Structure 1
Amino acid sequence: MSRAVNEADRAAEDLLRREAREARARLALPVALGVAQVAAGIAQALLFAMLVGALLGFGNAGWAELGLAAALAALSAGLGMAQERTLVAAGEAAKARLRRTAFARLLEEGPADPRPVGERAALVVDRIEALEGYLTRWLPSAVLAMAGPALVIGAALLADAPSGLILLVAGLLVPVIMAVTGIGAAQASRRQFEALGRLSGRFLDRMRGLPTLVLFRRQEAEAEALGQAAAELRARTMKVLRVAFLSSGAMELLAAGAIAMLAIRHAAQLGAGHPDPVAGIFCLLLVPAFFAPLRNFSMAYHEKLAARGAASELAPLLAPPAGPPGLILEEMPRKLVVTFQDVRLTYDPARPPALDGLSFRVMPGETLVLSGASGAGKSSVLRLLMGFRRPDSGRIALNGQDATALRPPELRRLSAYVGQRAHLFRGTLRENIRLARPEATDAEVEEAAEAAKVMAFARGLSQGLDTLVGEGGFGLSGGQAQRVAVARAFLRDAPLVLLDEPTAHLDPGTEGEVLESLRRLCSGRTAIVATHSRAAQRMLGRVLEIEQGRAAGARMAGE
């Protein structure tokens, strides 16, 4: 257990270091603005010391110093605003880049990723949001926590050496305080993110399955389980906040101690002929400028702890790919021969293999229908051909070449896929079809829609293919949505067609229409269809029976 935790911590640290290197160039300007703000604060403290000294009868500062102090105050405020804007821009750029990478990795893994949809959404949204604080708060504040106090201590040493030493000792105590208050904080933050992920994932998954829960009268039990998960998150969040308040209180106590030490030193001399009263007041006024970067550093320290907890979950997803990336196709083959030779695949060692020595061959222009009971291994064949899984043993060949030598995205380039339920996004029918090949022309989209019989119902809509449909295909029937999926496959025009129960949820009349479109789609291409449908088995091609991951027998279509 401890070994796994150590590996997760190392992976999280590696991720944070990589992101720090990526963000270094964007953070140079905010750090420079922060240093300029500290310098303006030192000059402002000197001018105020001169003005206060003049009021007490030490020196002759006047309106010029007051005007300059006001100008410096305005400059400091402007520098702070500029710094905040540059940090926000850097954070947004970093989050956008991380989300692009994370989303691309999730798309690459596809069905191979065992996490529920809710957990994946939490990874892309919440975990990456937590990394923003590390990049835009912790990294700049860590640099300014050294550069800012160093400037202030230098100014204090020039004015009064003992005062500079007092501030130096106070600064050296800050890491000690943070170490004491931060013991266990990283672990508490990690547990908080784990609780948040469980709650987010459970809530989204249960909302998606709400009709089923109501059907089986489990809504009250699930509501109680969600309440328990929310209570756990609340408790873990309060633990993290307790550490944050303790650290802030310790920092304020240290600042008060530094002011008290400086006040004791200079107050004793002011009443007995202080050699330089303005320098004494100046050293007292330097304390806020000295502790401002350290306070920011202390607050950002908890951003680091939160980021470390988030990074431990993001690291496996964002880690650089191990081993060679695989080959890229020089050109798209026009014909494909698919060969499975003694292929074995196991998802869980404790369960029987999904494929146990499966062998078959599909020639160009041939359609192979995989038949068998649920769990026999039909969908596993499609996952292997799309690169979402790698076989444990055996050989998968495309035109005689090892398919596993290709990058998984290259395998997916070779195929057009139609699943059980077509997912349509909010947009027009034309936009949903064009997802298969974004560079396609309007004429090509319309030709694909005609081939899939989408135009048969689109002509009756108010705006034809430019009619807007809702998320998930809202506004269309199941058969119409499936025809849009078939139109995508026509538009993709890939040499390999993969169909997974394409008519599972259709009535017999609609099934016949969709099967006719699928028959035209498979014509001239290599096609593999996983289905229970007797109509599909009779109409589409050669049938291969699969039992427990093995080929049990073959028959021709119509038999």
Structure 2
Amino acid sequence: MITPGEGNAGAARALLRQQSKALRGHVLRPVAFGLAATITGLLGAWLVARLVAALLGHPGAGWDDLAATGALALLGIGLGLAQERSQLAAGEAARARLRDAAFARLLALGPADPRGVGERASLVVDRIEALDGYFARWLPAAALALLAPLVVIVAAFMVDGRSALVLAIAGLLYPIAMALTGIGAAAASRRQFESLERLSGRFLDRMRGLPTLVLFNRQEEEATALGTAADELRARTMRVLRIAFLSGTAMELLAAGAIACTAWRYGGFAGDPTAGVFALLLVPAFFAPLRAFSAAYHERLAATGAAAALAPLLDRPAAEGLALEAMPPRVVVTFSDVRLSYDPARAPALDGLSFRVNAGETLVLAGPSGAGKSSVLRLLMGFIRPDAGRMAINGQDAMALRPEELRRLSSYIGQKPHLFRGSIRENIRFARPEATAAQVEAAAQAARVTDFAAALPEGLDTAVGEGGWGLSGGQAQRVALARAFLRDTPLVLLDEPTAHLDPGTEAEVIESLQRLCLGRTAIIASHSGARAQLGRVLEIAAGRVPGTARQVPA
């Protein structure tokens, strides 16, 4: 499993800086509302101080001050609500932006992404959710923790310079207290997220393999293992909370000290108490943005851990290349000494493979498992790129095209086609959403989907479950064939299209495949004994055609 480490800290910080610049407008709005609320609160505190002085027998305040205090209190509430709403908007904008980017990168990587399903789900859900607080709370709180206390110190200085000095000293001591607890909090938060990712990935993977677990009577052991992982996450979460409580305690000690010093300063004040009451009211106003900063500090720690996992995905440069000017009606595929290796420590998947498929021809790649058949299809779909050699389409270097342009050229059918939750008609239309109803119906007839759909309660509008629940393997394969008919591309790629089918169903699917491949260039990876019926057979083994001279790459 890929987990964020120490080496990703720099990439995480770079990612957060980049996204902060992109979302600057969303982040500045809550800061502006927060500053306005602070100034409003200071004006209200001055009026409250005048009213308290009047209650103590010192003239100067009247009903106008009371009315103004009430108006300022309502204005402060409105500004607080506006700040909260703008913070939520900043978090939503950040999540939408990051989720779009992460999902686009995962789609671009496709099957070439080495992450497990659980880890990918954790990236686009848990990790991005953890970044919400960074933009919604941490960045506004960090800005206000710098600006709002300065405004309070200026207000205190206008009344009494010594009170302003007390607040300034408390403000200087605050970063020291935060640093003492923050060093341990960062490491604890990173370890907590690693535990969360392991638990999320393990849980999702085990849920997907639940039938296998039950079949081999391993459910009790896996339940125990999940419980152990959950206990580890609980322990790490409690460690983060303990550190957070320590930082809160340091904050309260500083606030108590500032109040004590200010109260001692004005304890023997014999004149107008307005200045003294106002100075005391400034202490909570001074520490309010620092408290918000302290409360949001764990959001920064969580975001750093989440960004460390997202950075390797989002920092990968997008694949470059040319776009097709027009869809060619026919294609010729040529492999010339193509080499591909997934792992330097293992034998190459393709070791100098060469072949040619003419326009309209069907080539069946045959050979044992691990011979390189599926790697050929992955190369043609742009999910991976060869280490050496040349892959050409119509005589032009196919690697000059963007991967998505390669996928535009082809229709793919795998061993176990995935059907999404929805109707059969919607699953066929998935291949070309803009297709008309007549085109979808024609594709269903060409793939003989209508043969079994006619017996269903709602025909092509019958709902199927996720993964094709409710349909047999042969029926699901026909739906996949209908998608290929509807997509109508010049290149057809098939990976064991008749695997796991009974002989009768296999014969029907082969008949439909022959009609699909008619007039199109087709490459089929197959173990089927009926492969000779599909087209020319090319035997490959160990990533090359047996009997050809092996060329050593320069």
- Same-fold call, TM cutoff 0.5: yes
Question: TM-score range, shorter-chain basis?
Answer: over 0.9
* Structural mapping, 1:390-405, within 5 Å: 390-405=385-400
After TM superposition, the structure 1 = structure 2 runs for residues 6-155 of structure 1, keeping only pairs within 5 Å, are 7-155=7-155
- Tell me whether 1:241 sits opposite 2:251 in the alignment: no
Report the TM-score when normalising by structure 1: 0.95
Q: How many residues align?
A: 545
Shift of 1:251: 0.9
Paired position in structure 1 for 2:278: 282
Structure 1 residue 458: deviation in Å? 2.1
Q: Which amino acid aligns with 1:427?
A: G
Contact 1:544 1:553 in 2 (8 A): no
| Residue 291 (structure 1) aligns with | 287
- Taking the aligned partners of 1:484 and 1:134, their CA distance within structure 2 comes to 45
Whether 1:376 aligns to 2:396 is no
For 1:59 and 1:123, locate their aligned partners in 2 and report how far apart those are by CA, in whole Å. 64
Q: Does residue 538 in structure 1 map to residue 532 in structure 2?
A: yes
Match of 1:557? none
More deviation in 463-472 or 13-22? 463-472
8 Å Cα contact 2:46/2:278 also seen in 1: yes
Greater Cα offset, 99-108 or 61-70: 61-70
* Counterpart Cα distance in 2 of 1:465 and 1:89: 42
Distance in 2, matches of 1:456 and 1:546, equals 37
Match of 1:127, as an amino acid?
Answer: R
What is residue 543 of structure 2 aligned with on the other side?
549
What aligned pairs does 1:122-271 form with structure 2 within 5 A after superposition?
122-268=122-268, 270=269
Query: Structure 1: how far apart are the matches of 2:114 and 2:356?
Result: 30
> Which among 394, 399, 418 is matched to residue 423 of structure 1?
418
Q: 1:316-359 deviations in whole A, cap 9, x for unaligned?
A: 1111516x712111211111111111111111112111111111
Q: How many Å apart are 1:375 and its aligned residue?
A: 1.2
Query: 1:81-117: per-residue Cα shift (whole Å, max 9, x none)?
Result: 1211122122112212211111111111111111110
Aligned-CA RMSD value: 1.6
State how far apart, in whole Å, the 1-side matches of 2:188 and 2:501 are.
Answer: 50
Partners of 2:59 and 2:421 in 1: how far apart? 73
Tell me the SS of whatever aligns to 1:288: helix
The CA distance in 1 between the partners of 2:366 and 2:278, in whole Å, is 86
Contact persistence 2:89–2:136 (CA under 8 A): no
Q: Which residue of 1 aligns with 2:491?
A: 496
- Matched residue of 1:356: which SS? strand
CA offsets per residue over residues 265-320 of structure 1, 9 Å max, x none?
Answer: 1113x2xx24x420111010011111111111112121111100000000011115
Task: Look up the match of 2:458.
Answer: 463
Q: What is the CA deviation profile of residues 14-50 of structure 1, one whole-angstrom value per residue up to 9, with x for unaligned ones?
A: 1101110111112222221111111111111111111
Any runs of at least 4 consecutive aligned residues in structure 1 with deviations exceeding 6 A, and if so which?
Answer: none
Amino acid paired to 1:501:
E
Moved more, 337-346 or 78-87: 78-87
Query: CA shift at 1:464, angstroms?
Result: 2.4
> What percent of counterpart residues are identical?
69
Aligned partners of 1:87, 1:222: CA distance in 2, in Å?
41
Deviations 1:162-190 (A, max 9, x none): 11111111112222111111013222211
Q: Which amino acid aligns with 1:401?
A: Q
Q: Which of 299, 304, 318 pairs up with 2:300? A: 304
- d(CA) in 1 for partners of 2:540, 2:167: 78
The equivalent residue for 1:515 is 510
Where 1:499 maps in the other structure, the secondary structure is strand
Cα deviation for residue 448 of structure 1 reads 1.1
Partner of 1:479: 474
Amino acid aligned to 2:124:
V
Stretch deviating more after TM superposition (352-361 or 465-474): 465-474
CA contact (8 A) 2:184 2:243 kept: no
Q: Which digits, 9 at most, give the CA deviation of each residue in 1:399-429, with x for residues without a partner?
A: 1111112111111111100011111111122
Cα shift at 1:60: 3.7
Per-residue CA shift, 1:451-471, capped at 9, x if unaligned? 111111223333322222221
Task: Give SS of 1:471's match.
Answer: coil
CA drift at 1:246? 0.9
Q: State the Cα deviation string for residues 519-555 of structure 1 (Å, max 9, x = none).
A: 11111111111111112x122111111111111379x
2:552 matched residue in structure 1: none
Q: Separation in 2 of the partners of 1:54 and 1:421?
A: 83
Structure 1 Cα separation of the partners of residues 33 and 202 of structure 2? 44
**Residues 291-440 of structure 1: matches in 2 within 5 Å?**
291-321=287-317, 325-440=320-435
CA contact (8 A) 1:386 1:408 kept: yes
Instruction: State how far apart, in whole Å, the 2-side matches of 1:125 and 1:330 are.
Output: 37
Select between 187-196 and 57-66 the one with higher mean Cα deviation: 57-66
Shift of 1:5: 5.0
2-structure distance, mates of 1:542, 1:185 = 64
Q: Is the 8 A contact 1:343 1:393 kept in 2?
A: yes
Q: CA 1:201–1:5 in 2, change beyond 3 Å: closer, same or farther?
A: closer
Query: Aligned with 1:460: secondary structure?
Result: coil
TM-score, normalized by length of structure 2?
A: 0.96
CA distance in 2, matches of 1:88, 1:69: 29
Residues 313 and 403 (structure 1 numbering): CA distance in 2 closer, same or farther, change over 3 Å? same
8 A Cα contact 1:433 1:485, kept in partner = yes
Distance (whole Å) between structure 1 residues aligned to residue 432 and residue 326 of structure 2: 16
Which amino acid letter does the alignment assign opposite residue 373 of structure 1? P
User: Do the aligned residues in 1 keep the contact of 2:5 with 2:308 (CA within 8 Å)?
Assistant: no
Gaps of 5+ in 1: 555-559
Tell me if the contact between 2:350 and 2:543 (Cα under 8 Å) persists in the aligned partners: yes
